[in-house]
Each structure stands twice: as structure tokens, then as C-alpha cells.
Structure 1
Amino acid sequence: MTSDPARPFGRVLTAMVTPFAEDGSIDLAGAQELAAHLVDRQAHDGLVVLGTTGEAPTLSAGEQRAVLEAVLDAVGDRATVVAGVGTNDTAHTIENARRAEQVGAHGLLVVTPYYNKPPQAGLLRHFTAVADATDLPVMLYDIPPRSVVPIEVDTLARLAEHPRIVAVKDAKGDLGAVMHTLARTDLAYYSGEDMLNLPLLAVGGVGVVSVVGHLAGPRLAELVAAVESGDLVKARAVNESMLPLYTGVFRTQGVILTKAALRELGLPAGPVRPPLVDATPEQLAQLRADLADGGIHL
């Protein structure tokens, strides 16, 4: 686990899929195996569980608790385990946060409430209430493509005053806003959009919360290290090698193609749950070609 306050959750984290059995039930042993694989063989110093890529919206409260417990048991002594707890209801999010703290999570990922379209005052109240509810450090998740509402720079600056709001997972696609926020706050920025990993790191990000990390963790670690050392020539080369992976995994929902790739590699994944659907043979063939271009052969 990280002890660096500038990187409160580590450098390379993946938004981990939740493995299911073929009948759609939770595969807890598979979750432990996958978590250990990511930490021990894919150079991760952190994992985000129960995020969107973990299909958290389709898991019951009991399933969420069981998955978090299983991952903590598997890797909690050697990686930072961050629990996704965000919903579009403040009371429900606080319940999730308290449960995650009870189970032993090391931090919380709290997404902008989706669908409701709250004003900035509502975001400020929501995130503050969740941060007040536990003693865990909080990573805000700013993702307007899913939530519609961005967290504005002024709101982020006010949220940064809270002692437990320490980081942002950014998937806003607005590097100008990131730079303004970094200039005004000490929030640790993590790239939440794989295609923008390099530019976000280059303007001051401290790490990544990736999906492609399921497949290319060591290269992401190399990318972060190259930027940190100031070797942007190497960073660009590493990033370029991953472009086919970024493209390939996100031709449709990231979890769909990530699970397809993991299944082909013999790793725990299983099917996705409705309303998602598993990759078609045509999508799998395209994925094979994309990943091969990026040096990964299924």
C-alpha cells in the first residue's frame, strides 16, 4: 500500500472487472485470483473494485460486500483497495461508504451522481456528506459522459478543502480544467480515461485508474515512471505502443471487451450481466486484431 501523500492511492490502479460464473453468480474465488494476478503479475499497486467496470450497478449490497471482502483478503496487505461506492442518491452512497469502511477498504471512489443532473451546490453537498460519513480518503470521479454534469473547477477547489477529499479520477476530457484545478488545489489527479493517460500525467497527474491495465499493467507503470523522470521521449514511445490496446478495449463498453480478453487469456472473468451483453464473434475477432497490434496475443 502507498505511503506517499502525493499519490494517496498508488500509481497504477485498474478498475477491476467482477468475475461471474457462467450462471451469472459472483465468482469470489475468481475475484481473488484476478486481483492477485493484477497485483503480482501486472505491476499494480492499487485496485478499484465495485466501479462501473466492476458492474457495481447490477450487484446487490450483499454481493458488493462479498466482492470487497474477497479482494481485500487476497491483496489488501500489498495493494491499496479502493471501493466504488457512488450512486445517484446521497443516503445510499453514505450507506455504501460506511459498509466499505466496515469491511476494511483503504479508500472510496465516489462518482458524480448520474441521471439526476444536480447543480454544483448539490455536488458540493453530496461529496461533502459522503466524505464526512467515514474516516477513509476519497477519490472523486469526474465523468460527464456518464453523469452529464461535470464537477466545475470552483467546486473542486471547495471540495479540496475537506481533509478526506484527496484525489480525482478524471474522465472529463478537459485538460484545461485539470490544469486550473491542479494550480488551485493539492488534489492528486488520476487519469480515468486510458486514451488520455499520457497528457494527463504530463500536466501533473500522479497515476492512472485504468481499464487497459487488466492487460498491460507493466507498460502503464513504465509510462508513469517515464513521465515522473522527465523522459517524455520514452513516455511517448510507451504510450504509442498502447494505442491499439486503448482503441481495441473501448470499441464498445470497456468491461465487455475486457472480459472477452480475460476469458481468452484463461483468467477469471465470466459473462457480463444484463443490460450489458457479451462480445459477439465479430467483436472478438476485431479485439484479437487490435490487441495483436499492441503486442498482446489472445
Structure 2
Amino acid sequence: MDFRGILFFPVTPFDDAGVVDHDLLAAHIDTGVAAGAGGVFPACGTGEFHALSAAEASAVTRTAVQSAGGRVPVVAGTGGPLGHARDIAGAAADAGADGLLVLPPYLVGGTQQGLVSYVEQILSTSDLPVIVYHRGTAQYSVAAARRLAENPKVVGFKDGTGDIGTTQLIVRAVAEAGRDDFAFFNGLLTAELTQAAYRGIGVPLYSSAAFAMIPEVANAYYRAYADDDEVRRLALLDGFYRPLVALRDETPGFGVSLIKAGLRLSGLAVGSVRPPLVDPTPAQERRLAEILEAGRALL
């Protein structure tokens, strides 16, 4: 898979009855691809994978594939309980997805051998290539990451820990394994805040939740980043991303909740987040509206 441009992690819209709204999801994804997304990652973190049934996650992926229409790669989220992960992986392959993002297993942690086996079990379910997500209960050692990289079906590594030193060692170990086709991603919340540091260690790609909410600002930041326009990049960082991160850090789960709130503020009725996440208060939504307005003013 060849990713060019911003990586789009769409939300999962719910209607008033709490059911996935596939028409709105298709429109949301079409808008993101038309805005220049380099890849679509449905039913992942921003898409509330943690709150979707296997059937819902599979249906979300099917809608994403249809809406993307082959214009960009579609990488479906999977993970959690192993049986759940295998079911979703098989359904994603049947739906025509181009790959899988393997989120951490549910609740329990394991040895490094156990984590490698977890990924290998998911790999055995389909022919789809996978990107492993390094965070939570799935924190891979340098040796484990190198072992996974020896499998040609493992095509990427996404860091969600913020451990720059370990990630640098993994980047080097994968290179030493002879993989020049391996994709490295910054998967931290509001990754724009840390991406300059990640690029410095050989991690050029990042996931952008903000793109799902305000693609014009996210694209402006990406262009400044790609063009090494530090004056422009820092203006966007200071004027938009820093206040957004300050609001995000007030409440657990706001990395997702604020994105849905921002879409609602723009007129897209994507519904609330599912528990255990919570929606912003009216006062927080007003602050978010001010942050979005300030971001657009920078354009």
C-alpha cells in the first residue's frame, strides 16, 4: 500500500436510535477522499472501534470500501478479543479492504511471543496485509517488531506510545531486516502536535483525527509540514492545534468526542459518542466552535 497525503480516520455516525447511519458515513468518507485523503481507516480509534460489534465494524468497512471506490487504500480496524479480531479481519477481506490496522488485544497483556502470535493469528484469517498498532496492551519490543517485519504481510508500524527512543530503534531494526517497503506512522492523539519530532526519526506518516472534522485546516498543516514551511506550520500549531489539545486533555476520550462535536457544529448530524466516552458540555462545545473559527481564520 502506498500512502500519499493525510491519513483519514472517519467517525462512525449514529442516528437518533443509536444505529450506524451508513448513508451519512458514505457521504463523510466521500468528502474526506475528495478533500485529498491519502488513505481511509474506517472503524478504528476515531471510528469508535471499541464500541462496535463485529457485525457493525464489518458493515462500516463495507460502506467505506464502496464510498472510497478504489481512489485510495482502505485499511480496516481490527483487534480486541482474538475471535472478534479474526471475524472482522475475514469480513474486511470479503468487503474488499486493502489492509488491516491491528489494534491491541482486549484487557489482557501478554509476552512478546504472545503478541507476535496474536498478530500471526489475525494474518492467518485472510490475505490482507496488516499494520500493527503499538500502544496499550500491544507494546512490541524491538526484537518482536523485527520478527514481525520478516513477514511480508506485515507492512507497517503505528506508534501510539510516544516513546521516541524505542520507536527509533524499531525503525532501524526494520531497516536492518531489509524492509524498504515498510510504512511508519505517528498514531498519537492529535498527531500534528508531535509529528515534527517523529519525522526526525524516520516516521513520515501520521493519522489525523482533525482531518475528519476540519479538513481544510488539516490540509494546510500537512502542506506546510511537507513543504518544510516552518513559519506556516507553527502558526497553525499555535493558533489551532495547541488550543484544541488543551481542550482535548480536559476529559478522557475527547480525542474522539471533540471530532464528532466539531462535525455536528458544521451541520453533519453524526450523533453522540457511545459509552464509555462522553460528549462535550455546552460550554466546551462553545470553546470548540471558537477554536474551529480561529483555525479557519488562519487560512
Output the TM-score relative to the length of structure 1: 0.86
The separation in 2 between residues aligned to 1:84 and 1:192, in whole angstroms, is 13
Matches within 5 A, 1:190-209: 190-193=185-188, 194=191, 195-209=193-207
> SS in structure 2 opposite 1:84?
strand
Contact 1:244 1:293 in 2 (8 A): no
Distance in 2, matches of 1:94 and 1:10, equals 28
C-alpha spacing 1:167/1:247, structure 2 compared with 1 (3 Å): farther
| CA RMSD after TM alignment | 2.4
- What residue identity is the alignment partner of 2:207? V
How many angstroms apart in 2 are the aligned matches of 1:159 and 1:262?
A: 37
Measured after TM superposition, the shift of residue 216 of structure 1 is: 4.1
Bigger shift: residues 50-59 or 27-36: 50-59
Letter in 1 for 2:289: R
Q: Is the 8 A contact 1:13 1:208 kept in 2?
A: yes
Conservation of the 8 A alpha-carbon contact between 1:15 and 1:47: yes
Report the CA distance between 1:56 and its aligned residue.
Answer: 2.1
* Equivalent position amino acid for 1:210 in 2: S
Taking the aligned partners of 1:44 and 1:78, their CA distance within structure 2 comes to: 10
Instruction: Please point out which of 210, 213, 218 is paired with 2:211.
Output: 213
Shift of 1:191: 1.2
Q: 2:262 aligns to what? A: 261
1:101 partner letter = A
Aligned counterparts of 2:227 and 2:202: Cα–Cα separation in 1: 12
Identical residues among aligned pairs (%): 32
Q: What are the within-5 Å matches in structure 2 for residues 239-278 of structure 1? A: 239-241=237-239, 242-252=241-251, 253=253, 254-278=255-279
Residue in structure 2 matched with residue 33 of structure 1 by the alignment: 27
Which residue number in structure 1 is paired with residue 65 of structure 2? Answer: 72
Change (3 A) 1:251 1:105: farther
User: How far, CA to CA, are the matches of 2:122 and 2:284 in structure 1?
Assistant: 39
Aligned residue pairs, count: 286
Structure 2 distance, partners of 1:171, 1:134, is 25
1:137 maps to a residue whose letter is P
Map 1:39-50 to 2 at 5 A: 39-41=33-35, 43-50=36-43
CA distance in 1 between partners of 2:269 and 2:3 (Å): 24
1:83-109 per-residue CA deviation (whole Å, 9 max, x = no partner) reads 00111x323312211111011111100
For residues 245 and 122 of structure 2, what CA distance do their matches in structure 1 show?
Answer: 32
1:139 paired residue among 131, 144, 149: 131
Q: Which residue of 1 is the match for residue 171 of structure 2?
A: 182
CA distance in 2, matches of 1:130, 1:264: 38
Indicate yes or no: 2:87 matched with 1:92: no
Structure 1 letter corresponding to 2:100: L
Report the Cα offset of residue 79 of structure 1.
1.8
The CA distance in 1 between the partners of 2:118 and 2:232, in whole Å, is 41
Deviation sequence 1:114-143 (CA, Å, 0-9, x none): 410111111011112212322112111112
Residues of 1 paired with 2:264 and 2:79: CA distance? 28
* Cα distance change, pair 10–73 in 1 and its aligned pair in 2 (3 A): same
Task: For 1:243 and 1:47, locate their aligned partners in 2 and report how far apart those are by CA, in whole Å.
Answer: 25
- Between the two structures, name the one with larger relative contact order (CA 8 Å, sep ≥ 6): 1
Equivalent position of 1:14 in the other structure: 8
- Measured after TM superposition, the shift of residue 231 of structure 1 is 5.2
Offset of 1:32 from its aligned partner?
0.5
Measure the CA separation in 2 of the matches of 1:175 and 1:54: 26
- What SS does the aligned partner of 1:294 have? helix
Structure 2 segments unaligned to the other structure (5+ residues): none
The letter for the 1-side match of 2:108 is N
C-alpha spacing 1:207/1:221, structure 2 compared with 1 (3 Å): farther
Cα deviation 1:17-70 (Å, max 9, x = unaligned): 1001122111100000110111113x2121111113212232222222222111
| Runs of 5+ unmatched residues, structure 1 | none
